[in-house]
Amino acid sequence: GNSVTQMEGPVTLSEEAFLTINCTYTATGYPSLFWYVQYPGEGLQLLLKATKADDKGSNKGFEATYRKETTSFHLEKGSVQVSDSAVYFCALPSGAGSYQLTFGKGTKLSVIP
Amino acid sequence: DAGVIQSPRHEVTEMGQEVTLRCKPISGHDYLFWYRQTMMRGLELLIYFNNNVPIDDSGMPEDRFSAKMPNASFSTLKIQPSEPRDSAVYFCASSLPGQGLRGNTIYFGEGSWLTVV
């Protein structure tokens, strides 16, 4: 089945720093790719997604580009805020025709003032 | 619109007791998922339903765990008897059908935080 590998954390950054969280995938075909975010004490929520190669998903200042050449979907933000402190999960459909997502292990981000 | 609603939000119980977690999915969603999250194992899919029918329960850790979905708006996850190693956050989630490789957004509840002492 499909799988994702994301960089292990935790990641600690100062406010206004540049953020990159790496995610690479192994998949049959070209599935949609997702980033979810989990704020402290809450469930996971969709941050952004891309449905085909070269698509760029964006939301709340975060961006990720679907790169089939490097099988990557890295999450980036130009200037992080304290409120971005959370755990970030990369995900993709578990297989062709699958109705469930396979999630990465999550990367915890802490942003300090 | 209301999201996925879970109850209880927090539960502390003694080892050996029965625990029942409840979930109301988003109206109109055909798929319902139960996940467990721990520091050691991360996010694990326990079971999922399509149109109230269990499709894949291979993630259910053992016979002490059972899940039901008697109708489209309600599901339960039961642990009997509970053990300290069951302490975790249990998430319910729901979605519309994915379309092949496109997948679809899964919507999570806020979780039930279970502590077994």
The arithmetic mean of pLDDT across residues A77-83, rounded, is 97
Question: What's the gap in Å between the CA of B46 and the closest CA on chain A?
Answer: 11
Which residues of chain B lie closer than 8 angstroms to A99, CB-CB? 31, 48, 50, 55, 95, 97-98, 104
Asked if A42 and B110 come within 8 Å (Cβ–Cβ), the reply is yes
CB A89 within 8 A of CB A35: yes
Contact status of B33 with chain A (Cβ, < 8 Å): yes
Task: Give pLDDT tens digits for B16-39.
Answer: 999 999 999 999 998 999 999 998
% helix, strand, coil for chain A, step of 5: 5, 50, 45
Dihedrals phi, psi of B101, to nearest 5 degrees: -75, -10
Q: What's the pLDDT tens digit per position in A24-47?
A: 999 888 888 999 999 998 999 999
Could you tell me which chain B residue has the CA closest to the CA of A44?
B108
